[in-house]
Amino acid sequence: MVLVTLVLSLFHASLVGSQSTQSPGQACNPPHPTEQSPLGADSLSFPWSRLRLPRYIVPLHYHLLLHPNLTTLSFTGSLRIQIHVQNDTNWVVLHSKDLEISKATILDQNLTHLSDKVIPVLHNAAHEQAAIFSPRVLNAGQTYFLYIEFRAELTEGFYGFYRSNYRTSAGKIRTLASTHFEPTSARMAFPCFDEPSFKANYSIMIRRSPEHIALSNMPVEKTVELNDGLLEDHFAVSVKMSTYLVAFVICDFKSVTATTSSGIQVSIYAAPEKRQQTHYALEVAVKMLDFYEKYFNILYPLPKQDLIAIPDFQSGAMENWGLTTYRETSLLYDPLTSSTADKLWVTMVIGHELAHQWFGNLVTMEWWNDIWLNEGFARYMEYISVEATYPELRVEDYLLDTCFAAVAQDSLNSSHPISSPAESPTQIKEMFDSVSYDKGACVLHMLRHFLTDDVFQSGIVRYLRKYSYSNAQNQDLWDSLANTCSEEDFTSGKHCYSSSQASKNAYLFAGEHLDLTAMMNTWTLQKGIPLITVTRNGSHLLLRQERFLRTVLPSDPLWSTLQQGYLWHIPLTYKTDISSTIHHHLMAAHTDNLHIGEEVGWVKVNTDMTGYYVVHYEGNGWDELTKLLRENHTALSYRDRTHLIHNAFQLVTAGHLSLKKALDLIGYLRLEKHTVPLLEGLGYLKAFYRIVEKRNAYDLTNNMGMYILHFFHDVIGQQTWSDTGSVSKRRLRSELLSLACHLDDPPCLQRANQSFRDWLQSNGTLNLPTDVAETVYSVGAQDDHGWASLFHTYTISFSETHKHKILSALASSRDINKLHRLLELGLEGKVIRSQDLSSLIFMVARNPQGHHLAWNFVKKNWGTLVHKFQLGSFCIRTIIIGTTGQFSSPEELTEVQLFFQSIKEQASQLRATQVALDNVQKNVLWVQRNLGPLRNWLNEQMN
């Protein structure tokens, strides 16, 4: 095979049309064309200097033939791309990464070669780009075909076209090949214009052996038998879509199939011996597609939707159009070993990925800076869809946790705006974080409540219809929600009303027409979350907004600098004791004043936490709310009670409220019957315990544990070791018994040990109640025989959710040698899959015996971890933030800083390293300010 490629580590940027002042989104001028260009690659310089591709060539249709070889673990391919040229040029620049291009040629509309000579292909490895030179000018306004032949290895990791395997019950290893392209890895499978705005159609053909099947975005139209015994599947032409949504899988999986009410064929694929775990997912997927077609009032545009469980998968799932791929724990449900939490997770993930078939696939963000338009919407639609289709799962109880997770990151100075610049693949990967997903969802939740359900729903339907098979930006969403559009759109009468009509029927708020764009820009274009300080002054509430920060105290000299320039347009809501009415007010200034009346006793701001902001009650405001909770806590909704608990402890960390006041606030929890506020209060006590148990403060650790067990004694005693009751009761049982056994509660340990002995005597065939299985295993894992038995069960289990529970138990061992063995097995990637290594590291770091072990493991194996997971990936973030998040001393902070300095070249590219430093700094501040008060408060309670 003759390669005509030239890898250039340095390239020249002096060609026409590559001025650095030009914005990335503009249509760029090509290098100056010439008819007499020499064909020797040595005489050519790479013609493009930017990370983003030039806009003067647009792909229309990819004809892709692939032949993956699952024996040699490599693949060959040929590709014909129909392209439209918008400016005269000699160059076609596109993406290619780790592909060996053996042949490239350009043909005209009649498929005639433009040259009879070998065409040079140049590479810029740093930018993952290839440039193909045409000896004849490609003329503006004309269509051409780019033909490329290439080969590559099936990669070892989780991106591009990669290999995976699974073990049969007979012990045989089966190999498969699968894809994961989002955000920038389609270029690892075939040369392409790998940016979301380059949408095109795809005609895909895949060669395979008869014992395998091939799946892609579209159904197979025909299968051709080749001379060498291979089969070639020809898939139907796809709809117009972005490269990152292309997918193909070659495997020997089995499926179950059903049909939606509109005739869409839905199939769930899994390894043959896991087929019995696919039935619940099939039921969910059919229900979800039916729901979304009604909610969006747009039919799903493909004839089929496949969902497939891939044994090796880094993220939770991926929304490839018509072929969504999943980690096994995100798709498979085993009634014998999966808990109610596992069931909810599968339901929500399917809801998320199928929402993407509209938000993300049908309408795609213009560029990765607005990935929240995909992920924020899909995260929010999880809650809307599951609440509508499976109300018994009580998914609305978890929305608060999503918003609390967003607050946790957004209250650090290292946070970023929802819409943020992202250019390199590493920067783009880092955009897939809690801000894009969780904050995006919570801002949409706030907007939905502000605009009303009907207005919100009709606005997003308008948005989806207007930008179908196209790309959109923030402004396009605000225009659709505000019912405004251009005169051209208005006269077509399809999507919206005129601006004048919008003024008449848009949202009148506080007597004025709302500027939705101005309001929403304050939530998407600036980072952070507002803090509303409420002061009662007779019949008035005085309001003040500022940026809420947990890493810098108000007394710090940096405080005022970090506050400058921040202002939000906040849709406030509040309730009082004299009425059930929810009052609304739009706060668009730093200070404001509300008249509530002299007769009002208490005020609760941010009703049900529909707004994305933290509230602090100055003066005796917190005392009044504490008194209310103790005397009549049901006067507030369970969401309001949960919100008060969350805000109080966040304000403690930020230095606005004393720890004593927050702890006094949750004193009412003995009376609490609802799971959500109970778990919120318990969560903070558990977090404090986990901090002190890692600091060798034995007296404080002991007192803290005794207090938690004493305080929650009655509710712990009410728990049964079973799987009975509502989803909420089962969630509470799982959390309470896990903590009680961790705190060495004698009745809990006695019952768990007995259950574990029963399990051992059955040789692992006894199915423990799924809600308490992990707790039982964790207790049993503390001795050598129990640990070894669990490890053996881990190696032979066919349920990934079961294996996850066992792995968590194994990682709870107090034996350092066992923890070290687990980490080494995770790094090796055979017994413990590489996909589970990041969560394993976090599990070990959470263990008081393992937090320094995990950190030292990360430092020692940093290069290997980056090679496995790629810089900027979710796994690398989990590893960095999960290990360092356990630290709370100045010495540990210094150690983390020194390590990040030692990997400066990589650390400087990562936002996660700054998030990690902020987290440790926050912990250090918390300990310095609150360890003494916590000790004193506990002493008072114990006496």
Q: Which residues are catalytic?
A: 353
Q: Which amino acid is at 912?
A: A
Query: Can you tell me which residue has the tokens 């014998």?
Result: 336
Helix (H) / strand (E) element for 224: namely strand 220-225
Nearest CA-CA partner of 108 in 78, 87, 134, 131: 134
Instruction: Write the CB contacts of 514 (distance below 8 Å, at least 6 apart in sequence).
Output: 482, 506, 507, 508, 586
> What is the rounded distance in angstroms from the CA atom of residue 562 to the CA atom of residue 547?
8
Question: Do 603 and 536 touch, CB atoms closer than 8 A?
Answer: yes
> What is the rounded distance in angstroms from the CA atom of residue 676 to the CA atom of residue 641?
9
Measuring CA to CA, how many Å separate 266 from each of 271, 347, 920?
17, 15, 46
Dig out the tokens for 270 from the structure. Answer: 């899994």
Question: Do 908 and 872 touch, CB atoms closer than 8 A?
Answer: no
Helix (H) / strand (E) element for 345: namely helix 340-356
Nearest CA-CA partner of 873 in 842, 903, 910, 841: 910
Question: Do 324 and 354 touch, CB atoms closer than 8 A?
Answer: yes
How many other C-beta atoms can be found within 10 angstroms of the C-beta atom of residue 507? Answer: 17
Dig out the tokens for 205 from the structure. Answer: 């053909």
Q: Which amino acid is at 686?
A: K
Give me the numbers of helices (H) and strands (E) for the chain, helices first please. 33, 31
DSSP-derived 3-state class of residue 830:
coil
Please tell me the number of Cα atoms within 13 Å of 66 on its side-chain side: 30
Instruction: Write the CB contacts of 355 (distance below 8 Å, at least 6 apart in sequence).
Output: 292, 377, 378, 381, 382, 385
> What is the rounded distance in angstroms from the CA atom of residue 300 to the CA atom of residue 239?
11
Measuring CA to CA, how many Å separate 70 from each of 185, 208, 233?
20, 9, 16
> What is the rounded distance in angstroms from the CA atom of residue 324 to the CA atom of residue 334?
20
DSSP-derived 3-state class of residue 755:
helix
Burial class of residue 272 (count of CB atoms within 10 Å of its CB; 0-12, 13-18, 19+): middle
Q: Compute φ and ψ for 15, nearest 5 degrees.
A: -80, 155
DSSP string, 646-699: HHHHHHHHTTSS-HHHHHHHGGGGGG---HHHHHHHHHHHHHHHHHHHTTT-HH
How many other C-beta atoms can be found within 10 angstroms of the C-beta atom of residue 877? Answer: 23
State yes or no: cis peptide before 571, omega within 30 of 0.
no
Per-residue three-class SS string for 700-715: HHHHHHHHHHHHCHHH
Nearest CA-CA partner of 286 in 267, 309, 308, 314: 267
